[in-house]
Amino acid sequence: MAAIAEDLTPYGGVEADAAWRDEVRRLARQRDAVLLAHNYQLPEIQDIADHTGDSLALSRIAAASEASTIVFCGVHFMAETAKILSPHKTVLIPDARAGCSLADSIDADQLRAWKAEHPGAVVVSYVNTTAEVKAETDICCTSSNAVDVVASIPADREVLFLPDQFLGAHVRRETGRDNLHVWAGECHVHAGINGPELAARAAAEPDADLFVHPECGCATSALYLAGEGVVPAEQVKILSTGDMVTEARATHAKTVLVATEVGMLHQLRRAAPEVDFRAVNDRASCRYMKMITPAALLRSLREGADEVHVDPMVAERARGAVRRMIEIGKPGGGE
């Protein structure tokens, strides 16, 4: 292990070899830690984790785990959500700088001002938000259960949906609600996967399935292509990252065009090695997700860092909204 220790400049090159895997497993046992990895993590991080999945599945696993420490290989709001659900557990993120441009698109002051404009509205926040925003929220959701969450709200109540405009448009379309107001936020990675690019790829691969994350700028375009008959409707699937893995096992297509962050391809190829999965935009890589390197994970387990703290008063106010999120919607999305 000496080689690993010498290599451990802050987040520098550590090889994810057998020695690294053994050391990570040994340290995780020593800390009584469960390792969780989001589907956008580097392949070596996904492979060493105890559980890999989408944000809803990982929140549920974190809440149910008996381990005293959760090491969340994902972005900061995910680790914060685990801390809100399990305040007595130690929650570590291998690099606390791993943020999220979508979560940064609204803060608690902005949400309070929006609520003041719509008194009595139900606030539904995507899990990609800070703990302070969750504390101002009635129900959180993820891409996997956003439609179910909004459908659970009486039809005559106004809904404020935040912060992702593309997911909001998808939910409005699916629920048919015109009293759903959507915040104009976006994720820089998904917004960069655009409609014209998808249309060109779909035209070149007419038999391919399209797996599209609802945060993508191209989600509307994918449905438009289906509506116009350019791509048969049954080939267009708007899915959370966990549902993409389930669908990969079920598809009869030889080729699938994948419109989301490129880390997703690893789990899809593992789930269905016979299918040719291709990224719609192979530059769609989330730099925050990629901050969780093999070196960062090793440092995290060695030093017990970076520990995630949420102000107990904020966590108390956010907990109800997060608990409602994990109760609504189908099981699955991770393993």
What is the C-alpha separation between 312 and 202, in angstroms, rounded? 49
Residue 26 structure tokens? 């040994």
Q: Of 96, 143, 131, which Cα lies nearest the Cα of 288?
A: 96
What is the C-alpha separation between 108 and 135, in angstroms, rounded? 8
Q: Which stretch binds ligand SF4 (CB under 6 A): 14-22, 56-64, 106-114, 187-195?
A: 187-195
Site mask for ligand 13P (CB under 6 A), range 159-188, x = bound: ----------------------------x-
Judged by CB under 6 A, does residue 280 bind ligand SF4?
Answer: no
Which one, 14 or 140, has the nearer CB to ligand 13P? Answer: 140
Binding-site member from 33, 45, 67, 187 for ligand SF4 (CB under 6 A):
187
Site mask for ligand 13P (CB under 6 A), range 50-69, x = bound: ----xx--------------
The total of other beta-carbon atoms located within 10 Å of residue 30's CB is 11
What is the C-alpha separation between 32 and 174, in angstroms, rounded? 42
Please, what is the angle between helix 264-271 and helix 241-250, to 10°? 30
Q: Give the residue closest to ligand 13P by C-beta.
A: 54
Furthest-apart CA atoms within the chain: distance in Å: 64
Binding-site member from 135, 167, 225, 286 for ligand SF4 (CB under 6 A):
286
Judged by CB under 6 A, does residue 189 bind ligand SF4?
Answer: yes
The residues near 219 (Cβ < 8 Å, ≥ 6 apart) are: 166, 169, 170, 212, 213, 238, 259
List Cα–Cα distances, 328 to 56, 146, 256, 263, in angstroms.
10, 9, 29, 26
Q: What minimum distance in Å lies between the beta carbon of 206 and ligand SF4? A: 29
Which one, 121 or 321, has the nearer CB to ligand 13P? Answer: 321
User: Which run of H or of E encompasses 191?
Assistant: helix 188-191
How many residues line the site for ligand SF4 (CB under 6 A)? Answer: 12
Binding-site member from 147, 277, 288, 333 for ligand SF4 (CB under 6 A):
288
Site mask for ligand 13P (CB under 6 A), range 201-220, x = bound: --------------x-----
Query: Restricting to residues 88-107, which ones interact with ligand SF4 according to CB under 6 A?
Result: 100-102
Binding-site member from 41, 52, 101, 128 for ligand 13P (CB under 6 A):
128
The residue to which tokens 């079920």 are assigned:
250
What is the C-alpha separation between 129 and 122, in angstroms, rounded? 16
Q: Which residues bind ligand 13P (CB under 6 A)?
A: 39, 54-55, 128, 142-144, 187, 215, 240-241
